[in-house]
Amino acid sequence: MCWGDGDKGQLGNGQWIRYTSPTPVLGGHSFTQIATGYRSTCAITSDGTVWCFGWNNLMQLGDCTTTDRNIPVQVKTSKKFSFLAASNGSFCGLLVSTREPRCWGENPNSELGPYALELDCTQQPPPPPVAQSPPPPPSVQLSMAIARLGAGADHACFIPVDGPNPVCWGLNGNGQVGDGTTVNAAVPKDIGEAFASMAVPNGSFHTCALKADGSALCHGDNNNGQLGTGDFTSSSTPIFVAGGLKFVAISCGQRHTCGLTGGGEIWCWGYVCDIFYSVTLLTITPPRFLITLISSPCRWNYDGQLGLGSYSSHNTPQRVTGGHTWKQLSVNGINSCALLTSGKAMCWGWNHRGKRSRI
């Protein structure tokens, strides 16, 4: 079931319009996992095949075309997948056979790394030649089994099965790769910390991870306080989230982050900022207007995505209000959703185009 904006067919219901309540995805497929990117969606069936729908301007649907689809189409590969992660214009999945990653879609910032999926395109023109990537450093193997996988706006990370140090690659202008530089990485870079799990947010430029004891560390863009370190300084290496909280799960949005504790509490930090202008009528004939920038950048929790019952922003963790006990958490873009121990889903934050729905 999907809901919200459907202008590119990303709801998979055969329509191109928005829905403010859940609507079934067509095709009769039974999916075991779903990943939502920017106006595109992919899902895995029980037999390991991947089906996608929505915006396809960057071939992110994997059907060897750039045609938008409002019903699911199968990714053209015989390979079977067990897990998916979505980026802005690309998807990555774990192969059932080897648990190695394979990715497809856009690649201007090396988002696919050395793991580009070879699509089985028949009667398609050959792709234009591309420059060869430099050889990987000796410490990083390109063929390795993956335990955890995540994709950000233009970067991706995974934790190898024989880890525990995660590796990241792709766009690195804000230090989101975590290798101590801001140089884009065409091959995986070891970030030098041992983690048990990672959260790489779809559509943003920061990365967070949990150590085995539940401590949270983040790196990358911190202009909005999304690293939770008590300041607004970005970091190209992982740094501890303030407060000493221990989490069992962590999830990242566009410019905010939330963590779930073992006791069922959700704590969030960061914000999302909208740019506001004032418009003043100067003359009536002919009409002339003065447009004045009121605030940018701003440090607000403008859409309530932190779940605090207010629109205040915070660069340290704050507990979500309501006194609920939660068991699962998912943060994406500028809204947040979670499951209560009863199984009921609740959402908060931005509701443009009905993203929160009524569940």
- The span from the CA of 11 to the CA of 32, in Å, is 17
pLDDT at 135: 42
Tell me the average pLDDT across 55-84: 95
Lowest mean pLDDT across 160-164, 237-241, 272-276: 272-276
pLDDT at 4: 82
Comparing CA positions, the residue from 298, 299, 303, 301 lying closest to residue 350 is 303
Domain presence at residue 130: no
CB 121 within 8 A of CB 77: no
Grade residue 128 by pLDDT with cuts at 50, 70 and 90: very low
Q: Is the pLDDT of residue 34 over 60?
A: yes
Grade residue 350 by pLDDT with cuts at 50, 70 and 90: low
Domain presence at residue 71: yes
- The span from the CA of 177 to the CA of 331, in Å, is 20
**Tokens at 17, concatenated:** 């319009």
Domain presence at residue 127: no
Tell me the average pLDDT across 234-246: 94
Q: What is the pLDDT of residues 4-27, one digit of tens each?
A: 888 999 999 999 998 878 889 999
The model carries a pTM of 0.66
- The span from the CA of 325 to the CA of 94, in Å, is 32
Domain that holds residue 49: 2-122+139-354
Supply the Cα-derived Rg of the chain in whole angstroms: 21
Domain presence at residue 132: no
CATH number of domain containing 274: 2.130.10.30
Q: How many domains does the chain have?
A: 1
Tell me the average pLDDT across 248-267: 89
Domain presence at residue 33: yes
Tell me the average pLDDT across 156-161: 79
Domain presence at residue 134: no
Q: Select the more confidently predicted residue: 306 or 29.
A: 29
Lowest mean pLDDT across 95-109, 182-196, 241-255: 182-196
Domain presence at residue 359: no
User: Is residue 164 reached through a cis peptide bond, with omega within 30 degrees of 0 on the bond before it?
Assistant: yes
Domain presence at residue 131: no
